[in-house]
Amino acid sequence: MNNRLIREIVIVVIILLQLLFFQGCKKQVKCGCGKDILKSLDNELMDYSSLSYSANGESASFSIYNGIYYDTYYFCNPEEMYDTYTDLAGEEQVLISGNVYWDCTYVMNSSNNPYYYSYYKIYNIEITGMKSYLYGKK
């Protein structure tokens, strides 16, 4: 065989290997409220005391145990839900519904240190419902 034929075969093999092992482009995670919906919570039961609101109603969050640690959910619309939250004062348990999104700060930090951030996750949630849990009450 001549050198040219060998070079052409090597080039074809390299191109074929790249095509064979190319996994495609990985979709970039869109984070923040109103982006890609990660999941939805539908009437998630929690203690009223686990909801945390700032004094002026500008920020709110809650945590849910994931089996290892607590995942934190920051409200996308805390001011919109503040009146409902205050109306539920005195209730022991509430039901929360909403669309869940990745928190941008969490996504950025977890890409730098994936092991540390595997224990817990931080999300944004757009609350669509917050109501009293009336089990056993009339």
Domain regions of the chain by residue span? 26-132
What's the token pair of residue 47? Answer: 């203690």
- Does position 110 have pLDDT exceeding 70, yes or no? yes
- Considering only the top CATH level, what class is 26-132? mainly beta
Percent of the chain residues past pLDDT 70, beyond the cut: 84
Identify each DSSP E strand in 27-92 by its residue range.
39-47, 52-53, 60-65, 70-75
pTM, whole model, 2 decimals?
A: 0.74
CB 30 within 8 A of CB 36: yes
Give residue 1's pLDDT.
Answer: 59
The pLDDT-based confidence of 138 (bands split at 50, 70, 90) is very low
> For 40-49, what is each residue's pLDDT tens digit?
999 999 999 9
